[in-house]
Amino acid sequence: MPDLSKYNWYVGTAPSNVFDGAAVATSAVADTTAELTGLALAEDVDHYLGVRAVSYAGVEDPNTSQVCRVRIESGVLVTAPPNPVSAATVRPAASGGVVLAFSYSAFEEPAAAVGLQVCEVVDGVGDWDNIIETIAFTGTIPSREVTLDTSWTDGDRVALAVRAVTTDSVGGAEKLCNVITADATAPAAPAALTAAQES
């Protein structure tokens, strides 16, 4: 915006309603950060901050909108996580390997994901203290298929969990994959199955 005058700040309870109310604060063009006070945000509740550029004529440009999640727990601001992984499945590969297929949507993500973390599942939950691989995101990642570097012995039970991660190492909600048995000599698994009635 060539005649940028200031930035308007907003607060909402969801990404879709951030800009419904009046601006709660403004900040100068030269500022790369803004300190917002007096918002009285409730604890343990997700809130969303939004910012928009404003021209000297007082016109806001919706195309400049940016939104992030804010959550306070025990008086401390909790760093926003990325979106959950949409889907994740695994199948056996050669030499005890595993092929992981996953999809991730960045639509309205509270924080940008830069990669996918993989760990084994212990007692029904991901063992995130022992991450076995991190797969970097490059460009738009609606879906992707990768062969993991980790290998297992034939017959091993393979139970994995995945989650998206930000550049600050904040992980999103975990997604449990289907459980498989490592088998280097197994035939290729069917990709999909559908049934239809014959006429």
Q: Which domains does the chain have, with CATH numbers?
A: 4-78 (no CATH), 87-181 (2.60.40.10)
pLDDT digits (tens, 9 = 90+) for 37-88: 888 889 988 888 999 999 999 899 888 888 888 888 888 888 788 999 999 9
Q: With a cut of 60, say whether residue 19 has pLDDT above it.
A: yes
CA distance 165 to 54: 32
Alpha carbon 157 to its chain centroid, in Å, reads 28
Q: What is the mean pLDDT of the chain?
A: 87
- What is the pLDDT at residue 143? 83
What's the mean pLDDT in 99-111? 88
pLDDT digits (tens, 9 = 90+) for 73-87: 888 888 788 999 999
Cβ contacts of residue 48 below 8 Å, gap of 6+? 11, 12, 13, 14, 15, 18, 67, 68, 69, 70, 110
- What is the pLDDT at residue 1? 47
Beta bridge partners of 175: 162
Contact 11, 48 (CB under 8 A): yes
Give residue 152's pLDDT band: very low, low, confident or very high (50, 70, 90).
very high
- What is the pLDDT at residue 54? 93
CA distance 116 to 106: 13
Q: Which amino acid is at 155?
A: G
pLDDT digits (tens, 9 = 90+) for 179-199: 999 987 765 555 556 677 776
CA distance 155 to 184: 9
What's the mean pLDDT in 2-14? 89
Give residue 140's pLDDT band: very low, low, confident or very high (50, 70, 90).
confident
CA distance 117 to 154: 24
CA distance 183 to 140: 32
CA distance 104 to 82: 10
- What is the pLDDT at residue 194? 67
- What is the pLDDT at residue 120? 97
Beta bridge partners of 81: none
